[in-house]
Chain A
Amino acid sequence: MAITAAPPTAPTASSAGSGTTGRQSRRNTLIGISFILPNFLGFALLTLVPVVAAFGLAFMEWDSYNPAEFVGLDNFQKMFGNDTFWIALRNTLYYGIGHVPLTLLCSLGLALVLNRKLRGVRFFRTAAFFPYVTSLVAVAVVWNMLFNPTMGPVNQLLTTLGVANPPGWTSSSDWAMPAVIITSVWRDMGYYMILFLAGLQTIPVEYYEAARVDGANAWQRFWHITLPTLRPTTFLVLILLTVGSFKVFDLIVVMTDGGPGRATLVLSQLIYREGIAQGEFGYASAISLVLFVIVLLVTVLQFRLGERRDR
């Protein structure tokens, strides 16, 4: 979603020179298109066309055997009357409500702690980032074992700390989602830490020196300098996290496969099940459209709020 601010486009190719003729600009167009073509063909065929098709399919009834037929809003009616859809939507929101703030706090905390000149800090940053590049299957498998209800290290630790009945984690429908959220926070926090570190390094040291001279303590410096200056980064991270949490898919498929029961079934997974596993192309596209509209609305809303606070 978020796009880094590009430097203003400067006059670029030769046509910017004085002797621009119609022939030259046609030539430039041909050259420009020739550069883009190899990527554009693949992109148009496999991304642009499906994106447009997804909108159309949402209003059709189509499975692999019968020809597509326009059915208006039938798919949406079916969806809103189906409790699996509502469960998936609720679970997706539940995941987001846990994942977004926790990842934000953990990644900001990591960035603050690791943004200093200490020997070996490079190693610690690498360590914090590594979960993000580790394969998801390995991550899910390891955490499933760590969360083992009877013998896993997590529950052993909890028992040692005096918790009499530690949760059943992925085998309990109440605790499966928290287990997924903990795993996802652990995996993603290093990525957002990088963005926060980049933001922190743009804050001029003079700000802190001036504040220190004025007698501001560490908390005041954080509250009045770090946080406000970091606002653009925090905003970017918030949007990326929110969009990402609505798209959660592979972690859940590998870790719980939506279970136990439907306790961790999320929207993306429902689209996969209906559309690709069952072949209900139209119905699945309707769910996709709802997912897309939600993501779009949330992003626009966050932008609005961000703008208002800017004033």
Chain B
Amino acid sequence: MPKRGDIKKILIIGSGPIIIGQACEFDYSGTQACKALREEGYEVILVNSNPATIMTDPDMADVTYIEPLTSEILEMIIEKERPDALLPTMGGQTALNLTVELCELGVVDKYGIKLIGAGLDAIVKAENREQFKHSMERIGLEIPRSVAVTTVEEGMRAVEYVRFPAILRPAFTLGGTGGGVAYNLEEYGALLKNALDLSPVTQVLIEESVIGWKEYELEVMRDNADNVVIICSIENFDPMGVHTGDSITVAPVQTLTDKEYQRMRDASIAIIREIGVDTGGSNIQFALSPETGRMLVIEMNPRVSRSSALASKATGFPIAKIAAKLAVGLRLDEIPNDITRETPASFEPTIDYVVTKIPRFAFEKFPEAEPILTVAMKSVGEVMAIGRTFKESLQKAMRSLEADTYGFEKPDETLNEKALMLKLKEPNSERLWFIGEAIRRGYTVDAINSVTKVDPWFLNNIKEIIDFEEQLSDMALHVKNLSDIDSGLLRKAKESGFSDRRLSELLKTDEDTVRVLRKLRGIIPVYKIVDTCGAEFKARTPYLYSTYERPFYKISEDTTDRAEIHAISACEANPTDRKKIVILGSGPNRIGQGIEFDYCCVQAVYALKELGYETIMINCNPETVSTDYDTSDRLYFEPLTIEDVLSIIDVEKPEGVIVQFGGQTPLKLAVPLEKAGVRVLGTSPDAIDRAEDRARFKDLLHKLNLKQPLSGIARSVEEALRTADGIGYPVMLRPSYVLGGRAMEIVYDSESLYDYMGRAVKVSHEKPVLVDKYLEDAIEVDVDAISDGTKVIVGGVMEHIEEAGIHSGDSACSLPPYSLHPRIVNEIKEQTKALALELRVIGLMNVQFAVKEDEIYILEVNPRASRTVPFVSKATGVSIAKLAAKIMAGRTLDELGVTKEPVIKHIAVKESVLPFGRFPGVDTILGPEMKSTGEVMGIDVDFGLAYAKAQASAYNRIPMAGKIFISVRDKDKHSCVEIARTFIKNGFTIAATKGTTEFLQGQGIEAEPVNKVNEGLRPHIVDLIKSKEINFIINTISDSKSKQDSQSIRTSALTYKIPYATTISAARAVANAVEMLKSNKVGIKSIQEYHKTASGL
């Protein structure tokens, strides 16, 4: 069937900011969809609020809007662009929900838009629990006993039928937010209320618990001729009860016979047909009783998903790309398989390896949150590894996590038996290692299975690894020399996936020694191709993974001597003779290192391709665009450890390696790589060290005559106390070499400092703690610049909305600055240039400044790509990452025609998106430790409007009427006056705590006093929040005591979705935005239009 001729223009909705449950896998799918549809000749209109995506690159779609993902804005875009069709299945739950909303509002009908991929009926049938249940009944499939309820009363009745333990699943929430398991009536009541509240349609499914059952997922595709294929099957290591996004998962299924697998396959096909997904991919989850094999359908996602991204990377079958083509009417058998080229996409991939995904968590960022895993997703990223056996795959995945683990290290050895059992019983992010420890301590597989419900097949594999570890340790004790170690055993260890690092621990030596010994014995990895077909056809796409395979050999009847025999290693890497550069990716997403760095890596690939280089990507994050085999010329899906990277470099022999774009992950490898004789492109590792090392950095600033807040280094608790006294409180404390503000805190007195040193860090001579003067109320400024060593161009100067001290990743910022004097901005630029030249930066550099009372202080210099690079690029239309990559390959700014810094006529505001809703009990106050998962951009002609858009994009409602509650520390009271006036002028009323009320009244502002919670009088502020009498909250705090006192305000604001500001600057920006919104209508403009009006470069 030919592709549809009745549509020409297609609207794609992106998934918005990175949040838990919806991450950069939707950049991957959206980017693929844009490329696929344009390849077929369609015009693509793209809307996404997330500037850190590749999909919002101006040349990815024909017209790109970085605008809030709300139905009002979308209607404006539809009215302007008049698309013929809307593809709702690429942007996760966000796009699906918006599509439903647009249909219900009549927008889709009004403009005659065709939904392609999945129609409204299919979306609703799959998403609405009640309808889904009826659909499954119709095709004779079982689902867990369940009742959908919309009120607490209904819920109480429902549980009598469902029985405990009961699972609560709110409808239409992301990653199952608000879901939970209740074991008794009390727990149930609390969960029910919360779940009803979180569901946008106030509907919750009360469901029979199948906790501990085996969990499976199938990725299904269907075309409009009703051809259905299964792309990938996935078996979860963690049984039912842990959200699949938080589970370790393995592809393909391991413990099902063909009969059982086909039964699941048949069910999946019946489901996609019954739900009526016309074309494209769906993800279907099943639970299976380990005792009887009873199979229940858990859920179906009628769109591409995190799992489909994983499945695409796991099999080499690009689900989103094919789904986009199917949506415009092509059939599976009309689309070629990219990898074999000669066979069509109408087949089921078969794989000849095992894929393991392990999620990455960020509980260390939220110490108040309970680090246990439930049916609501909490992980912030994931890694995938490929190995020929599960053991190899698992151990590769473990070291890919970059969580200071290289295998089954012993967890806390002091853990007693009872504590260990609890760690096994309650799913948690380190359970895998605790299972290893339990085996080490002699627990049987049966015993561990009965506690964890993890399938014995997985457990026995882990047992083999642990047993092997013991064999290795034993041997280390018995051989005199390491060189006496049996080659066969060493090879077997590598075949089982042991890292050199873990082997060195077991053999009581160091990693380099293991590597040298191993290479001496010829034990080196071979690379195999991910080819969708188990080698049945020749693969054309170099998508590679490493494995250890025994060499074989060839003889003839005349062969006389084994010495003549030449060992053959079947390595499929086949490196080319082209000039080539390796780009190291950023590994798993985590707070502090997310999609922004993947964006930079992908830009580097594009840039180097333009210069004619062969690009080689190494990364282990399945969610990303960088690990699309279509992005770089060659893709190695490998852990980013020195061992794995060096092995690839041995084979590829590139001209150089780029470590600047992937954040801290590759940067950490700069020195070891250089030591191993690898050419690190761009800024020298020594310059990086000069910027990172406190003492050297101090000298550098001294040399350039630049200011820095008073600071000191402490190598002991006593030294820290002494230093802080010398500098004067408040001080900012942080461990050296951190990203994302890990364990960074501001302390106001010696008592808090003492507490911090005991709690947050293990200080030592090698790992000192940095003590900096905290500049209160300073304005923070971020600058991104590019340098070729002789010339520097500033890409963008960003003024933060929140004051210095709030992590730059968590604060909003404005490009260009909205309040700084031009003289200051110029001075900042000059200082940036001086720093870049002194450090001989080749490529990107980011500098953080603080401005206080017209004095400029330098907080930090990072000679590498920063988190703000994509934001700057989208705001200005200049891809500074691309330019930087070209400079690192030897071009100069002059050669690239870059002479002036970009100047824009609009304002772009970046806002952060925080995951507090996921971590009950965590205070929402911002601080020096980064907590945001993603970002959005608001862009308009005026700061107020741009800020308002950024807030809308970040799902923070700007209040347009009602009551403002103010509770601020003394020093903020003056600043509140003007803000309160602005609100009153725009029709708001003010409520405040007694102290603030008196102060405001003294300034002639009408304010009504409200009781504090700890004053004991009712109604207090939390009562007002609950009864929805408050529309906006301004709450700042001075110390940890006031923080404790007011936490209930912020928690209830979060729960009841009342917008709030925890800094005066943010409150001011909101007031400003309200004023602008009252007098102006928000408009829309594509970034291509914005960029046209920008000048420079």
A and B: bona fide binding partners: no
